[in-house]
Amino acid sequence: MFRLDVKIAMPLKLITYNIQAAIGTKAYSQYVTQARLQLFHSKSKMKTLQNISGVISNYDVACLQEVDLGGRRSGFKSQVDEILLSSDYGFASVQENRKVGNISRHGNAILSKYPQSDICDLKLPGKRAGRGAILAKIEAPKPFYVLNVHLSLGRADQIMQVEYLAEHAPKDQPVIITGDFNCGASSLPLSALASLLEMKRLTTPADKTYPSWNPRKDLDHILVSKHFSVQDIAVERAGYSDHLPVTSRLLY
Which CATH number goes with the domain that contains 92? 3.60.10.10
Asked whether the predicted pLDDT for residue 111 surpasses 60, the reply is yes
Residue 47 lies in a domain: yes
Q: How does pLDDT run across 184-241, given as a tens digit for each residue? A: 999 999 999 999 999 999 999 999 999 999 999 999 999 999 999 999 999 999 999 9
Asked whether the predicted pLDDT for residue 41 surpasses 70, the reply is yes
Residue 3 lies in a domain: no
Positive or negative, the CA dihedral 153, 175, 209, 217 is positive
The neighbour count for residue 27, using CB atoms within 10 Å, is 13
Residue 4 lies in a domain: no
Domain coverage including residue 46: 11-251
Residue 105 lies in a domain: yes
- In the chain, DSSP assigns E strands to 11-18, 61-68, 91-100, 104-112, 116-123, 132-138, 144-150, 175-180, 200-201, 220-224, 229-235, 246-251
Residue 149 lies in a domain: yes
Residue 85 lies in a domain: yes
106 alpha carbon, distance to own chain's centre:
13
Closest residue by Cα to residue 91 from 169, 146, 154: 146
Q: How does pLDDT run across 43-71, given as a tens digit for each residue? A: 999 999 999 999 999 999 999 999 999 99
- For the chain, give the mean pLDDT: 95
How many domains does the chain divide into?
1
Asked whether the predicted pLDDT for residue 2 surpasses 60, the reply is no
Q: What is the pLDDT of residue 6?
A: 54
Residue 40 lies in a domain: yes
Q: What is the pLDDT of residue 9?
A: 86
Q: What is the pLDDT of residue 8?
A: 76
Q: What is the pLDDT of residue 113?
A: 97
Residue 244 lies in a domain: yes
